Structure 1
Amino acid sequence: MTATGFTSDAGSSTGGRKGLVLAAMICAVAMTFIDQTIVSIAAPTIQHELNLSGTGVQWAVNAYLLAMAAFFALGGRLSDTLGHTRMAVIGVIVFAGASALCGLTPTGSLAQAWIITFRAVQGLGGALMYPAALAIVVNTYDLRSRGRALALFFGIAGGLTAVGPVLGGYLTEWTWRGIFWVNIPVALVALLLIAISKPTTRYRPAPIDWTGLLLIAFGVALSVFGFQQSKVWGWHNPLIGLSIAAGAVLLVIFYRYERGRQAPLIDVAIFSNRAFTVQCVILAISMAVFLPMFFFASEYAAVSLGQNTQKSGVTLLYFFVGFMVTSQIGGRLLDKVGAKRPVFMGSVIAAVGFYLWASKVTSLDMSQLTWPIIISGAGMGMMVGPSNTDAINRASSVSYGEATGITQTVRNYASSLSFAVLGTVMISVFQNRVAADPQAHAAAASAGAKAGGGSSSSFGSGSGSLADIPTFIRQDFAHGVQYVFYIMSGLMALAAVVALLGLKGGVQPASETDAAAEPESVGDAAA
């Protein structure tokens, strides 16, 4: 530790090159992004082979996102107090180890508890890894070149979210266990690149606020759990309202508790920065759209279009085409003109794309959906990276992990809630349309499980041939998805309004803390 109280990660200040550091961190977080969508596409096969209940397979998907949301704040704090590189390595090892154990899930009575537990451990590993990885990238690049670097980071990472369903489809044809084992070679490459590049950042050792951790972890978990279980138990069950209310109360208590701490888990004073708070709101809105989009689009492709897992995954690559191209444009705009323009423009483009997408889904014609999907991806690609980067830039150089922990908690919390709420909307519309057609009622009884219509089953959890679902059931399912995509369009329009009214134009000036840290960060990685 130096006289100023700051410590540097192990490694020489000239040991790592910027490109290698960036590649190492992209490989590390690649696993977390792929696993956000890859399991959904294999869920029916996993359920069938392991004989999981509908609730069990739902939690095999949700446990991962819930654990990430609950522990991101801890991951961010640990990376700032124990060292970003150290926590990135620990996170990669935990994530890869949990992935291996998910792939080794035994058949029989232990299967359900086993896979849900280690999916949650995967989420914990991701929560430890991601804030540290992003903090390393931010520390490596100075403020004026950070936008382009993070555009590459978020562009590739976001693209891998779209690759997840494609990869999952092909691996599932071999064995569903392969969707977890594929993380192991990626983790080994990440660890090798970290060892070669030797990223160096500054951090400040400090005690961990364990009380704060318990408050935020249980607050996030209980509120998200209530929304997720609403589809299973029904809103009439008093435990749903009690769980959501208890979670909300704990989060309020957490906020008030943290304000009086000398070494808080989250320095809530950062929310006094208007730009940071506005960007957190925008990220929450956009992430309520981004991850659920992959899930509902995959289910629509499988149920309404009758596509197999490979084809339904390939469909989402159109989204990646738009996302990857505009993510680079958004990063360059951030460096040149600031965050407001790319965030606003991207949100507007995404709102238009999702509206067009929604208007075409009931046609059951993939040729009419291609351009709306590309436009939606282009809009999200332009705004997600700049919004995230601008928020993190508001923190000091020794608090990037904490800022990332906050933004990622917001992102994953919003995604988890959105999954639950939009899922309830989709099922309600689908069931109401089926119930309104007396002739369809008998056929829906057998096909509804395949389409995710049962209140106790997850989407796509049937084990039969989806191509055998009658056309009117596909149409009714498409109408349910249509409502979801119209809501997504409205949410992105709301994000555009928040960006227009809440953000200031122009490039952010370098803070004194960031400027002081730039020589050390830049010197770590020669171009």
Structure 2
Amino acid sequence: MRTHQGPREPGSFPVPPAGRGSTNQTLALAAMLFAVSMTFIDQTIVSIAAPSIIDELGLSSSGMQWVVNAYLLALAAFFALGGRLSDIMGHRRMMLIGTLVFVVSSVLCGCVPTGDLAQTWLIVFRATQGLGAALMFPAALAVVVSVFPVEKRGRALALFFGLSGALTAVGPLLGGWLTNWTWRAIFWVNVPVAVVALVLAAMAHIPEVRRREKLDVPGALLVAVGMGLSVLGFQQASAWGWSSVATWACVVGGLAVLAVFCRYELGVAEPLIRLRVFRDRAFAADSLVLFFSMMAFVPVFFFASVYAQVSLSASPNQAALYLLYFFVGFGIASQWGGRILDRRGARPAMKLGTALGAVGFALWAHKLTDLSMHDQWPYAALAGAGIGFLLAPASTDAVNRSIGASYGEVTGITQTVRNYAASIGIAVFGTVLTHVTTDRVVETLTSKGVPSGPAHDAARSVAEAVTGNADAQQPSGDGRVATLMRDSMDAVRMDFAEANQWVFYGMAIALGVAFLCSLWHPGTRVTGDPHTAGGPDPETTADSDPGRRDELHGG
């Protein structure tokens, strides 16, 4: 395997080791973990509290869907901007700003008034929560990367991604427990977590690293509009339908704006995203592996949880425990993946992870129709292990190859890729689940003597109710249909399990494509922290470590 040393090509220069001697690496890592934990938990915690929020505030089901999606939309739209601001203004500073925006928005979400203003209030401050997360996460990841030398970075980021990813499973458990008190607590719980993160960050003495560059405002607007529109189209596809003009207007319009963004960036002296980083074959391979892997990793939270509650008749808390099988494998393998990265590079870890993930998801899909939670745990754990092996190595290797040590920028790119892939996975697999569930339930009801028309209406209602589509209608008609529906619930649970098989096999295919992408990785490694040649020099400010600037620049 060829070793990657010294300046040789764009995209291979980690940040200079500014301030590592005075920075408490353990406290810095802990602070960043507490900060990003809020963003992961909030991706799932609101869904559990949705019925209570709807009941108290009188929201429509479509309004509640916008409350959930507003966070994800803002997250996707502003990640690239957050990464670039982190480079220009400083990683530590942007982490603090993002955390404050996030926690203030959380408090305001929990203080939503009842009445006509409630829905707008929640949607607006959920969006600002997403903005805070988009500002915070790239900066937090860049802090971890900058304070750990490259030879220790794999293990540090394996812990970072392993623990923060596992916290997504905490959302449903925590949400169920807090909702028993008040659903508003699911937002207020972020306050003590943020306080701990800020205190630890202050104690860690994290150096401030920033770059003397201008912000590409037109580029920021173009990427925000392009990402926001296309993600909106994918997210709303299940509600609007894939044949809807609105769906394709958003998707195609968003992609067109992103194409304009790419063309614009190539002609700008100081672009928001240096697209030449994709000329690095290893970085491009890392990005593709992350893209196809995240089509399975993020959607599995939703689909496995709904499957457990519908087909296995599990409670929300039991469904969260069901997901723990996946995270046991994920947590253990993520640590091994970090060690493989440190010793052998990213390619072996990505090949192993994508292969295990593809096999794990395929075997898990095969066992879904057994309708036994305990029989599925080895396959769920294997699928989780596959993602655990590849996630930190692919992400770390991509960041290590950043142009001119632009860690914030590249973490913004990789996180945008991940969120974009997740939105596509949820939309596509959600459509597959809805259609297959409808077809299966129609077959079940017609076989029991229900006429075709009422059977289709009832099946569509069942599919919309269990897959979370907006404005689901209850089946109408005579009492005979309702009676047959109650009598057929065991069969419907099996129908839904069979529909989920298609989804999980789709996830296995996505991991299979990721495996092919991992083979394209050249196998080069980043083994040191050389200064960049020809790129902007990072500036270490004196406020965090007096005299460090002179030391860095030889003064």
TM-score normalised to structure 2 length: 0.86
Does residue 275 (structure 1) correspond to residue 271 (structure 2)? The answer is: no
Aligned to 1:262: 269
- Specify the alignment match of 2:481 in structure 1: none
Counterpart contact for 2:65–2:470, Cα < 8 Å: no
Question: Match for residue 159 of structure 1?
Answer: 166
Query: Is residue 303–residue 477 contact of structure 1 (8 Å, CA) maintained in 2?
Result: yes
Q: For residue 399 of structure 2, give the secondary structure of its aligned residue in structure 1.
A: helix
Structure 1 position 506, deviation (Å): 5.2
In structure 2, what is the equivalent of residue 319 of structure 1? Answer: 326
Contact 1:204 1:398 in 2 (8 A): no
SS of residue paired to 1:174: coil
Two-structure CA RMSD over aligned residues (Å): 2.7
Structure 2 counterpart of 1:99, from 95, 106, 131: 106
Matched, 1:38 2:45: yes
Which whole-Å CA distance do the structure 1 matches of 2:463 and 2:427 have between them? 19
- Other-structure match for 1:481: 500
Quick one: which of 127, 134, 152 aligns to 1:127? 134
Quote the offset at 1:482 in angstroms.
Answer: 1.4
Aligned AA (2:498): H
CA distance in 2, matches of 1:469, 1:331: 49
Matched, 1:171 2:178: yes
Q: Take 1:134 and 1:310, find their aligned partners in 2: how far apart are those partners?
A: 30
CA distances 1:296-332 after superposition (whole Å, capped 9, x unpaired): 1111111111111111111111111111111000001
- Which residue matches 2:525? 507
CA contact (8 A) 2:434 2:463 kept: no
Alpha-carbon distance in 2 for matches of 1:16, 1:510: 19
Q: CA deviation at 1:240?
A: 1.9
Q: Distance in 2 between matches of 1:397 and 1:193?
A: 29
CA distance in 1, matches of 2:492, 2:109: 34
TM-aligned CA deviation for residue 14 of structure 1: 5.1
CA separation of 1:190/1:493 partners in 2, compared to 1, >3 Å: closer, same or farther? same
Change in Cα spacing, 1:269 to 1:454, as seen in structure 2 (3 Å) is: closer
Q: Does the 8 Å contact 1:444/1:473 carry over to 2? A: no
Give the Å deviation of 1:455. 6.2
- The more displaced of 304-313 and 505-514 is 505-514
CA apart distance, 1:425: 1.0
| Residue 363 (structure 1) shift | 1.8
Note the 1:199-238 alignment, pairs <5 A: 199-238=206-245
Q: Which has the larger radius of gyration?
A: 2
**Gap change, CA 1:444 and 1:108, over 3 Å in 2:** farther
CA distance in 2, matches of 1:149, 1:451: 39
SS at structure 1 position matched to 2:242:
coil
Question: What displacement does 1:12 show?
Answer: 7.3
Number of the residue aligned with 1:452: 467
Which residue of 1 is the match for residue 308 of structure 2?
301
Letter in 1 for 2:516: V
The question of 1:390 aligning with 2:362 is answered no
Letter of the structure 1 residue corresponding to residue 333 of structure 2? T
Contact 2:347 2:521 in 1 (8 A): yes
User: Structure 2 CA distance, aligned partners of 1:335 and 1:65?
Assistant: 33
Return the alpha-carbon distance in structure 2 between the equivalents of residues 56 and 273 of structure 1: 43
State the one-letter code of the partner of 1:481: N
Is residue 283–residue 411 contact of structure 1 (8 Å, CA) maintained in 2?
yes
Aligned to 1:66: 73
Q: 1:135 to 1:446 in 2, by over 3 A?
A: closer
Aligned pair 1:363/2:363, yes or no? no
SS in 1 for 2:180: helix
Structure 1 equivalent of residue 294 of structure 2: 287
Q: Which moved more, 1:330-339 or 1:509-518?
A: 509-518
Whether contact under 8 Å (1:361, 1:369) holds in the other structure is yes
1:401 aligns to what? 408
Cα deviations by residue, 1:100-145 (Å, 9 ceiling, x for unpaired): 1112222222222221211111110010001111111111011111
| In 1, Cα distance between equivalents of 2:403 and 2:257 | 28
In 1, the alpha carbon distance for the partners of 2:230 and 2:98 equals 26
Query: Who is 1:471 aligned against?
Result: 490
Kept in 2, the 8 Å contact 1:60–1:116? The answer is yes
- Aligned residue for 1:144, secondary structure, equals helix
Cα distance change on mapping 1:448 and 1:261 into 2, 3 Å? closer
CA distance in 1: counterparts of 2:463 and 2:277, whole angstroms? 48
Residue 267 of structure 2 aligns to which amino acid in structure 1? G
SS at match of 1:316: helix
Q: Whole-Å Cα distance in 1 between the matches of residues 158 and 532 of structure 2?
A: 20
Residue 525 of structure 2 aligns to a residue whose secondary structure is coil
Cα offsets for 1:63-106 (capped at 9, x unmatched): 21111111011101101001111000000001111111112222
1:262 Cα deviation from its structure 2 partner = 1.0
Gaps of 5+ in 1: 1-7, 459-466
Deviates further, 217-226 or 171-180: 171-180
In 2, distance between residues paired with 1:45 and 1:362? 31
Runs of 4+ in 1 over 3 A off after TM superposition: 11-15, 442-450, 452-458, 514-518
Does structure 2 retain, via aligned residues, the 8 Å contact 1:91–1:126?
yes
Q: Distance in 2 between matches of 1:505 and 1:447?
A: 49
TM-score by length of 1: 0.90
